[in-house]
Structure 1
Amino acid sequence: MIEKLREYFDEMVVYKDLKKSNFFSALSLPSFLRDWLLKKFENEDGKFDIEEVSSFIHEYLPKKDEWISIKNRIIVENERVKFLTKISVDINIKNQEITFALPDFGLTNRETIIESDVWYQCKDELVKGKETWGVVELGYRLPDEELKIPGRIKLVSFTDFCPYSVDLDYYKETRAQFNIKEWIDIILGAIDYNADGYADEHEKLTMLTRLLPFVEKRLNLIELAPKGTGKSYLFGRVSKFGWLSSGGVMSRAKMFYDISKRTPGLVCGNDFIALDEVQTISFTDVDEMRAALKGYMESGVFTVGNYEGTADSGIILLGNISKGNMDEYKSMFSELPSAFHESALIDRFHGFIKGWDIPRMHDDLKISGWALNSEYFCTIMHLLREDASYRAIVDQLIVVPDHADTRDTEAVKRITTSYLKLLFPQVRSAEDVDIREFQMYCLRPAAKMRQIIKKQLGILDIEFKGKDVPVFSVRKTSNED
């Protein structure tokens, strides 16, 4: 399979040796950034010069505590400084002034400027999303006391982080060269896991369930798992398009919209918001946050004051669970914060991930071999979110029984669509779908994930007691007749 993977995906395959090499693990780089470096410096045998990579990292990947030194070089020494980071831009409506921020270093729009000639050179890259990764070159625009113009850090140039274009159609077509078991192993390798380290396919698929919010808009999930199963790593280190928040205080302003700053919150511009260690998260106003979450998770729309916004980010709750409570028939959600003890809010979560079916991380689960570049794969997953054709296929295939609960139907269809995108991206119509595989790998797992939510709702609220997810069937296609 490795030969076939390298043949079809060519430059998008890198050699990852997480089991033996401590070089990258010591740097604590996210997977997409590590694989970008591997792609840049590895030879065709998967080997790289550690000194060469170290030199690049030292020059282009400064740590946060080096920011004062960087500002000194730019402002006092009048140097131009280049480094790799994520950047966001803003255009002032009143005066057409274009500014930027570097969130990782605390540099705000009030301290910066992008002059018009630079903007026209790099605007196509900078307007792609809320934040963009790339190599920024910074300089200083001196203050002018007569004109009362303050000094600003200016953007001199910008080079996009992704030096290649991603061909989504090629990715879809190439999937057809692999069977489902091979493809599952390929995806695991793309997110840094060694497929041979898992006991069976069920463990593998439970792990891959974590990726569903990466490929589907506004997919809301809850996962409770023992410690050490890699929740934080997957949601926080694999993709540059999501946001992981660990513990602490969360406010409506931070999540949705800050009225005082007039800035959109985390749900705007991220593919998902994962609330890790959810038991330790507190909300500034529980009722306010609960109401905002219910409205947003239902429709993708939120209202804060006079501001109405829309977003596509999924909401993911991640929590550790005691061994005695790892049972879908017990009251598992009692371990969640009180904000999530309301059935109307829990009903808006589409599915539940049984994290205890994922093995605790050990060395044999770390990838050591050729695998898809994580940076490439996370971009593919991000692009798949925009493809509505998979939902159309699911709508055509699934037969909804009479009087089925609308939220159950939507949840099962949405999770089924996510599985279809992740595992069978090559399908272009209902006729392309293998019905047996569709039922086994998409529909049945989706119904089971929703059923756990339904059981927990029955424990929380007598109104839901005894109510199960409808039994969905699959409509035959012309190629099945």
Structure 2
Amino acid sequence: MESIDKEISLNTKLNTHFAGRVVRKDLTKKIKEGANVPVYVLEYLLGMYCATDDEDSINEGVERVKKILSNNFVRPDEAEKIKSKIRELGQYTVIDKLTVKLNEKKDFYEAEFSNLGLKGVAIASHYVKEFEKLLAGGIWCILKMNYFYDEEVRDASPFNISNLTPVQMPNLDIEEIFNGRRQFTKEEWIDVLLRSIGMEPTQLENNVKWHLLARMIPLVENNYNLCELGPRGTGKSHIYKEISPNSILISGGQTTVANLFYNMASKKVGLVGLWDVVAFDEVAGITFKDKDGIQIMKDYMASGSFARGREEKNASASMVFVGNINQSVDVLLKTSHLFDPFPEAMAYDSAFFDRMHYYLPGWEIPKYRPEFFTNEYGFITDYIAEFFREMRKRSFSDAIDKYFNLGNNLNQRDVIAVRKTVSGLVKLLYPNGEYTKEDIEEILRYALVGRRRVKEQLKKIGGMEFYDVHFSYIHKENFEEEFVSVPEQGGGKLIPEGMGKPGHIYLVGHGETGMIGVFKIETEVVPVQVSLRERDLALIERLRKA
């Protein structure tokens, strides 16, 4: 009974403090199953017509949304049919994604339709001034389209836009979220965030909740590098594909430097300059057609910039790497390392993995079942996506400095990684900057664990170069030092457990100072070019002896 009262209270709070910004997530599920539209478009319409507690009004609103989608949403395979309707009827309403650019040669704005396939359609400048996102990646809109063919102006499109209404949030009042956050406890706010991405927090353990929050960090933090490997069916890529219109998921893994970073021919920045998050699905398939692709990616992951031609370009997109582990974690740790699913070109590149800010243990997240998806209220997806994007302009990387120092085992890259993770989680949980020492300590411990997981695997790959894995933080008030550990094996021993690489051997001996120490000797087989004359002489010598 207490649980039911809590749900009623949280739903009531949301509808009170964020009226018109929330939607019942079971409605999204019902319509999404039969309509191939982005979740953020669907939920915007549901927020318009179903933002009420009255069941009859909700049912009426759902039917209205279904009708709008059925009649007006443009499917790419029906584009010609819709264009014909606009021509024959003279006017018709469509739902499509609109991108606008300025045609400086003719001095007017022209629109391009994503599904309808139209280009060069004139659009009034007041729409561009009112909804600037039209110029920056595009917006899904409901549009009233007219058709008029003028024989005297043959190079102009006969289609024109008589009315435009965005079905994404055209703007966001961030103070509304800051003020609304004060009405919720930390636990309630975590539940709100998880329900906003469709999950039911009452069915999830606490550590799983934090892992799901960590998946959101790349959406709020600039240049954040996240790796998540785990079993299939745990929703690793879902948030980057469905939840935010500001992220892109590269399926299959194959890409080019021109597509991802910079096209030298067209002089245009690639995906990292156009999206907040670039996520790679199935890391095992990541390949670059260019030989220098991985090197450029490493440069970008470290600094947020990359050099192409004579220029250095900057971008703020976060990089996410998700993939499957096809065997148990215990077996993987004994035979290899936790980055093993990456392609061969990266699998033993310690410099590449050192740029990962957090390793999210996907094996700790259960496979999704129907009861894990919520039927309660959460933020409209596009509303929370705009909140995430707005928070990218802010930083809380110094939040730990008031209360803690970091231990001496953290090098500069470790410190940057931990600070970025802390900043991202503070943006999610305490966006208004109101937090206590205990709040920051909880976040700091979580951040240290994820970075130490990276460092432990680097130790297995790179050996003693990464010996300093004993991460800790120090209380400023009493100088008490506290250490964090990871559940996976390793870290406590100088010689990593499990099978080592061929040609590597550990031994104990005296150093130059006379102290006993552990030494590692690495041998490597390299190809040697032998001249034809040398080979013939060697053959003659063997024959002579025989």
TM range, normalised to the smaller chain? Answer: 0.7 to 0.9
Stretches of structure 2 lacking an aligned partner (at least 5 in a row):
1-8, 479-546
User: In structure 1, what is the equivalent of residue 338 of structure 2?
Assistant: 332
Distance in 1, matches of 2:147 and 2:363, equals: 53
User: In structure 2, what is the equivalent of residue 57 of structure 1?
Assistant: 69
* CA offsets 1:368-423 (integer angstroms, 9 cap, x no match): 122222222221111111123x2343444442445841111100000011111111
Q: 1:279 aligns with which of 270, 275, 284?
A: 284
User: Quick check: 182-191 or 46-55, which moved more?
Assistant: 46-55
The change in CA–CA distance for 1:222 and 1:99 in structure 2 (over 3 A counts) is same
Structure 1 length-normalised TM: 0.86
User: In structure 1, what is the equivalent of residue 357 of structure 2?
Assistant: 350
Distance in 2, matches of 1:177 and 1:152, equals: 52
Deviation at 1:300, TM superposition (A): 1.7
- What pairs up with 1:118-267 in 2 under 5 angstroms? 118-127=124-133, 129-139=136-146, 142=149, 149=155, 151=157, 154-162=160-168, 166-198=172-204, 200-247=205-252, 249-267=254-272
Instruction: Check the 8 A contact 2:399/2:440 in 1, yes or no.
Output: no
- What pairs up with 1:432-471 in 2 under 5 angstroms? 432-440=434-442, 442-462=443-463, 464-468=465-469, 470-471=471-472
Q: Which has the larger radius of gyration?
A: 2
Amino acid at match of 1:211: M
Amino acid at match of 1:6: N
Deviation at 1:357, TM superposition (A): 0.9
User: In structure 2, what is the equivalent of residue 423 of structure 1?
Assistant: 429
**Length, aligned pairs only:** 461
Amino acid at match of 1:10: A
Distance in 2, matches of 1:92 and 1:473, equals: 58
Instruction: Check the 8 A contact 2:41/2:140 in 1, yes or no.
Output: no
Distance in 1, matches of 2:274 and 2:333, equals: 33
Q: Which has the higher contact order (CA 8 A, sep 6+)?
A: 1
* CA offsets 1:36-90 (integer angstroms, 9 cap, x no match): 121122143252334322210023322121122233345x648444322322222
Amino acid at match of 2:448: A
Amino acid at match of 1:460: I
Instruction: Check the 8 A contact 1:190/1:371 in 2, yes or no.
Output: yes
Deviation at 1:95, TM superposition (A): 5.5
The root-mean-square deviation of aligned C-alpha atoms, in Å, is: 2.8
* CA offsets 1:12-55 (integer angstroms, 9 cap, x no match): 22222169x64332324333222212112214325233432221
The change in CA–CA distance for 1:292 and 1:376 in structure 2 (over 3 A counts) is same
Structure 2 length-normalised TM: 0.77
Distance in 2, matches of 1:293 and 1:161, equals: 35
Stretches of structure 1 lacking an aligned partner (at least 5 in a row):
none
Distance in 2, matches of 1:120 and 1:52, equals: 29
Q: 1:269 aligns with which of 274, 281, 293?
A: 274
The change in CA–CA distance for 1:350 and 1:141 in structure 2 (over 3 A counts) is farther
Deviation at 1:214, TM superposition (A): 1.3
Give secondary structure in 1 for the equivalent of 2:397: helix
Instruction: Check the 8 A contact 1:408/1:469 in 2, yes or no.
Output: no
Give secondary structure in 2 for the equivalent of 1:221: strand
User: Quick check: 155-164 or 301-310, which moved more?
Assistant: 155-164
Distance in 1, matches of 2:272 and 2:460, equals: 30
The change in CA–CA distance for 1:71 and 1:468 in structure 2 (over 3 A counts) is same
Deviation at 1:466, TM superposition (A): 2.0
Distance in 2, matches of 1:170 and 1:123, equals: 23
Distance in 2, matches of 1:236 and 1:154, equals: 31
Instruction: Check the 8 A contact 2:409/2:468 in 1, yes or no.
Output: no
Distance in 2, matches of 1:45 and 1:358, equals: 35
Give secondary structure in 1 for the equivalent of 2:240: helix
* CA offsets 1:141-197 (integer angstroms, 9 cap, x no match): 75768x873657555543222467532123123222222222221111111111122
Instruction: Check the 8 A contact 1:328/1:455 in 2, yes or no.
Output: no
Distance in 1, matches of 2:372 and 2:474, equals: 36
